[in-house]
Amino acid sequence: MIIVLRPDSTEAQIAHVLDRIRELGFRPHLSQGEKRTIIGVIGEEDKLRAEPLSALPGVEQVLPILKPFKLASREFRRDETVVTVGGECGPPVKPVRIGGGSLALIAGPCAVESAEVLETIASHVKAAGANLLRGGAFKPRTSPYSFQGLGEAGLKILAEVGHRHGLPVVTEVMDPRQVDMVFRYADMFQIGARNMQNFDLLREVGQTRKPVLLKRGLSATVKDLLMSAEYILSEGNPNVVLCERGVRSFEDSTRNMLDLSAVPNVKGQSHLPIIVDPSHATGRPDLIPAMARAAIAAGADGVHVEVHSCPEKALSDGPQALLPAQYAALTRDLRRLAELMGKTM
């Protein structure tokens, strides 16, 4: 940590900063230049970071040197984490590996609407090569007047349909009080973008060992995303898969702005797998296939795509869903790309 002093800082102020650092158990290194005096404090930055050193009189800025996350970092674990989803609840479902060269192809409707509709969609996406089924039972909707999901009934349908097709299922959990219930049905928890910094919820899923798909918040930096993963890891659950799904921006022709550079950016700093959701990122079916291909070419560990057999009657986010035939065409492209990237689907 580097503490930069103001050009007008007094001797007494500098002495006070040095005392405070020593009081906290660290050894400061003072460098006095012509234009600025700086103090270096190397090592154990975690403890220092919590201290409001920039509030000390005479301090201009405090520059951290180390990254604020540990368990999520490449320095903590050099090898890529591979997260295994499903397979605990007996035969039909073969576990799916995410990371380390194995791609997750998560597909399904935005919301679980009925057993019939889901059955149709599941058979289509399974045939197209999807290996995980998604569907929301609890929906975070901007408006209190929108469809809010089927709740436990939706979870049941999801688990039954998915497992019948040999697909582990992933579904969103929004409230710490739902964690137990969702645990019983889902093979993987999804934490949505709006809850990326719902820290009580992160801790709650962190106390299980079930895989968690953690989506990037709408205005979260890559560092923020890794810090939220750190919450889950620090509770003892190592099975975290990150998901880039676009962030808020001034561009108004797409729903969000997909930040694909987050893929190599995360991979450089962390051992956790990261997948991409081009459906929520763009909100436009005409852009989804190109962005899914780009995600794989950028090195993502999978893609998460919304598919609906009848988007015009979907109860949630219909306009951004691909039709089954569009999804099948996309997976054909992805298969060739995966091969070229040395990955398996």
Minimum distance from residue 144 beta carbon to a second copy (Å): 5
Q: Is 79 in the site for a second copy (CB under 8 A)?
A: no
One of 22, 94, 209, 313 touching a second copy (CB under 8 A): 313
Q: Choose one: 92-100, 128-136, 138-146, 179-187; the region binding a second copy (CB under 8 A).
A: 138-146
Q: Is 342 in the site for a second copy (CB under 8 A)?
A: no
One of 83, 298, 305, 330 touching a second copy (CB under 8 A): 298
One of 15, 88, 184, 199 touching a second copy (CB under 8 A): 199
Q: Is 146 in the site for a second copy (CB under 8 A)?
A: yes
Which residues within the stretch 115-134 sit at the binding site for a second copy (CB under 8 A)? none
One of 9, 81, 171, 198 touching a second copy (CB under 8 A): 198
Classify residue 277 by burial, with Cβ atoms within 10 Å: 0-12, 13-18, 19+: buried
Which residues within the stretch 159-178 sit at the binding site for a second copy (CB under 8 A)? 174-177
CA distance 172 to 21: 44
Which residues within the stretch 234-263 sit at the binding site for a second copy (CB under 8 A)? 234, 247-254, 257-261, 263
CB-nearer residue toward a second copy: 66 or 84? 66
CB-nearer residue toward a second copy: 168 or 192? 192
Count the Cβ atoms, other than its own, within 10 Å of residue 243: 28
DSSP string, 221-265: -HHHHHHHHHHHHHTT---EEEEE--B--S--SSSSB--TTHHHH
Among 208, 216, 217, 211, CA closest to 235: 208
Q: Is 197 in the site for a second copy (CB under 8 A)?
A: yes
Give helix 115-128 / helix 324-340 axis angle, nearest 10°.
30
One of 22, 43, 325, 344 touching a second copy (CB under 8 A): 43
Q: Is 78 in the site for a second copy (CB under 8 A)?
A: no
First-to-last alpha carbon distance for the chain, in angstroms, is: 44
Q: Is 40 in the site for a second copy (CB under 8 A)?
A: yes
List the beta bridge partners of residue 39. Answer: 3, 30
In Å, how far from its chain's centre is CA 152?
Answer: 24
Minimum distance from residue 181 beta carbon to a second copy (Å): 13
Among 302, 128, 325, CA closest to 211: 302
* Structural contact between residues 292 and 305, judged by C-beta atoms closer than 8 angstroms: yes
Q: Choose one: 2-10, 162-170, 180-188, 237-245; the region binding a second copy (CB under 8 A).
A: 2-10
Q: Is 14 in the site for a second copy (CB under 8 A)?
A: no
Q: Is 287 in the site for a second copy (CB under 8 A)?
A: yes
In Å, how far from its chain's centre is CA 6?
Answer: 39
